[in-house]
Amino acid sequence: MQEPATKIVVLGTGGTIAGLQTAGPPGTYRAGALPLAQLLPEGADLERVDVAHIDSKDMDLAVWRQLTVQVAQALGRDEVAGVVITHGSDTLEDTAWLLHSLFASSGKPVVLTCAMRPADHPAPDGPGNWRDALAVARDGGAGHRGVLVVCAGQVHGARGVRKQHGWAVDAFGSGQAGALGAVNNGQVHWFREPIRPAVDSGLNEASAVGESLWRTLLSPPWPEQLRTQVHQALLRRDWPWVAVVHSAALADARSLRALVDAGVQGLVVAGTGSGTVHRDWLPVLASLPESVPWVLCSACEMAGMPLTEQAGWSALDLTPRKARISLALMQLALG
Ligand code: ASP
């Protein structure tokens, strides 16, 4: 009989959770200064791997590649019950959405956590956060909920999570839908299931192109063939250049044209309200070449509902940042 999986693989990427206020001259701060060995006590069921030591504001393709390889390897091991990733808070939601896109189908928990105060702060929040993250990674209700983010006692899904505060310990929210759960004294309480927009029938094909493929990509877990194809492309190819442009008062069409002339490979239009776009932009968007797909989402913090503007492909409830990642992944899928 097979032994039950008990091991948690902890992958460190840096961030304030591993940061020191006192690393350099007074007043300086260095994110990711400490290795995991100095943050987490050794335990028989914990395996610690330092993937990177960066400030997540500087997240790059090399670290994303290493991280996805480490996550894939860990999830593939029978003895591994789940993965915890320590990460800076600045781009945590980007990495969570990338990993959710690639690994939502694994059935094993992948939990990201962070801290808003450095490890040498008089009252650090990191230790509580990684303990909570370990509790979630060991909880039976986590695996089917896709990639999760744990911070300040709350459990957020990769789809809804966003950093909404610059310094508060409770820095993350899940928009209108609220957190998926909470952790209290090591106990995990689940409030709801993650939202997964329906993929139209017939669209769930790895061979789907254009808007069909876009809709499939917006709704992880993906078909296995698509998942492998995109992961391989991520490891081998340059990251496609997708830009976010904000429609607002006096939106200037020259910014769109300049991006297209410079070779942009996709545009995310962060629309006003429920996804409306300045009239001066609409003709430019309508005449974009096929090689520059554009998608529409709302810049509003509490959007999270179907968009009204139908001119482009809708990014549904995704924030502009996450739509940007999905559109880049689409370009990777198209090869
Ligand atoms: N700049 C830091 C980072 O994202 C902030 C943090 O971790 O809270 O790495």
Average pLDDT over residues 304-322: 76
149 in Cβ contact with 112 (< 8 Å) = yes
172 in Cβ contact with 91 (< 8 Å) = no
193 in Cβ contact with 183 (< 8 Å) = no
5 in Cβ contact with 78 (< 8 Å) = yes
Ligand 1 atom nearest 16 alpha carbon = 7
Q: Which residues of 271-299 are buried (b: 16+ CB within 10 A; e: fewer)?
A: bbeebebbeebeebbeebeeebbbbbbbb
- Kindly report the protein residue whose alpha carbon is nearest to atom 7 of ligand 1: 88
Asked whether residue 42 carries a pLDDT value surpassing 90, the answer given is no
Asked whether residue 258 carries a pLDDT value surpassing 70, the answer given is yes
Average pLDDT over residues 146-155: 98
Task: Name the range with the highest mean pLDDT among 52-56, 270-274, 316-320.
Answer: 52-56
Output 43 or 262, whichever has higher pLDDT.
262
Average pLDDT over residues 136-161: 97
The H-assigned helical ranges of 209-292 are: 210-217, 224-236, 253-261, 282-286
Q: How far is the CA of 31 from the centre of ligand 1 (A)?
A: 7
Per-residue pLDDT reduced to its tens digit, 101-126:
999 999 999 999 999 999 999 999 99
**Is 16 known to be catalytic?**
yes
Which has the closest alpha carbon to 36: 56, 15, 22, 57? Answer: 15
82 exposed, middle or buried (CB, 10 Å; 0-12, 13-18, 19+)? buried
pLDDT of res. 301: 79
Average confidence score pLDDT of the chain: 92
pLDDT of res. 199: 66
Pocket (CB within 6 angstroms of ligand 1): 14-16, 31, 55-57, 88-90, 114, 116
Cα gap 37→40, rounded to integer Å = 6
Structural domains for the chain: 7-190 (3.40.50.1170), 211-334 (3.40.50.40)
For a mutational test of ligand 1's pocket, the pick from 13, 90, 170, i.e. the residue with the most ligand atoms closer than 8 A to its C-beta, is 90
Q: How far is the CA of 78 from the centre of ligand 1 (A)?
A: 32
In this structure, of 152-166, 277-291, 299-313, the range with the lowest mean pLDDT score is 299-313
DSSP secondary structure, 13-70, as one string: EESGGG-BSSSSSTT--BTT-S-GGGTS---TTEEEEEEEEE-GGG--HHHHHHHHHH
Q: How far is the CA of 119 from the centre of ligand 1 (A)?
A: 12
Output 144 or 24, whichever has higher pLDDT.
144
- Residue 197 burial (CB count, 10 A): 14
Asked whether residue 176 carries a pLDDT value surpassing 60, the answer given is yes
- E strand intervals along 211-334: 242-246, 266-271, 294-298, 313-314
pLDDT band at 207 (very low <50, low <70, confident <90, very high): very low
Question: What is the percentage of the chain residues whose pLDDT exceeds 70?
Answer: 92
